[in-house]
């Protein structure tokens, strides 16, 4: 709050609030105070780097060694059923709306790096749909970023960490979004 004094009307309103409030039940307050508190994470000092999140980033894959990320492989039936029903809760959402192609590629790469370091399994990648009917015809119903995503993921230094890429359920964006499922750490 600011340091300005209350006006006469604000003082009168505050007095009414004070008069209508009942004190908390002390037994309930003591039960809440007795609940265990989560450990506080260590404070990070200095610049935040990849080392802060578990190590140096992996090296880029040479072009001759790159393999496309399969659209329909890498997951068991349980994952596929959960994705098709839309019950998977993504650990993180990456929204690429408003980015240029180059800035979207950089954003995706850095977000993948942080998600892998944090141990996330499911990422919701929002790419958006094509803007106009002409653009949909020209790019096969996809926007420019959406059209480039599969190439970016296949050429990514994080390609070995990606188990599968699936179209998102309508509740998470449908045709304008993708699920990226990361491999479990061993």
Helix axes 144-155, 101-118, angle to 10 degrees: 50
Q: Which residue has the higher pLDDT, 132 or 10?
A: 10
Q: What proportion of the chain, given as a percentage, has pLDDT over 70?
A: 68
The pLDDT tens digits for 59-86 are 666 766 766 555 555 677 788 788 878 8
pLDDT at position 49: 62
pLDDT of residue 140 exceeding 60: no
pLDDT at position 10: 86
pLDDT at position 50: 57
**DSSP code at position 16:** H
pLDDT at position 47: 66
pLDDT of residue 1 exceeding 70: no
> What phi and psi values does residue 163 have, to the nearest 5 degrees?
-85, -40
Q: What proportion of the chain, given as a percentage, has pLDDT over 90?
A: 2
pLDDT of residue 93 exceeding 80: yes
124 contacts 108 by C-beta, under 8 angstroms: no
The structure tokens listed for 15 are 């007095």
Q: Which residue has the higher pLDDT, 2 or 159?
A: 159
Q: What is the mean pLDDT of residues 89-101?
A: 87
pLDDT at position 27: 76
The pLDDT tens digits for 3-60 are 778 888 888 888 888 888 877 777 776 776 776 665 555 666 666 665 555 556 666 6
HSE (side-chain half, CA atoms, 13 Å) at 178: 23
């Amino acid at each position: 709050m600011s340091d300005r004094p209350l006006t006469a009307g604000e003082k009168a309103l505050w007095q009414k609030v004070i008069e209508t409030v009942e004190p908390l039940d002390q037994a309930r307050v003591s039960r809440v105070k007795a609940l265990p508190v989560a450990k506080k994470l260590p404070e990070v000092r200095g610049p935040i780097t990849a080392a802060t999140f578990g190590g140096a980033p992996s090296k880029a894959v040479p072009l001759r060694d790159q393999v496309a990320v399969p659209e329909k492989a890498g997951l068991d039936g349980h994952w596929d059923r959960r994705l098709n029903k839309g019950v998977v809760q993504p650990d993180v959402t990456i929204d690429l709306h408003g980015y240029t192609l180059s800035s979207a590629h950089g954003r995706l790469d850095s977000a993948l790096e942080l998600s892998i370091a944090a141990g996330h399994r499911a990422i919701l990648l929002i790419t958006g749909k094509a803007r106009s009917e002409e653009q949909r015809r020209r790019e096969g119903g996809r926007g420019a970023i959406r059209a480039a995503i599969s190439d970016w993921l296949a050429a990514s230094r994080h390609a070995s960490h990606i188990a599968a890429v699936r179209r998102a359920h309508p509740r998470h964006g449908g045709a304008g979004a993708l699920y990226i499922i990361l491999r479990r750490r061993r």
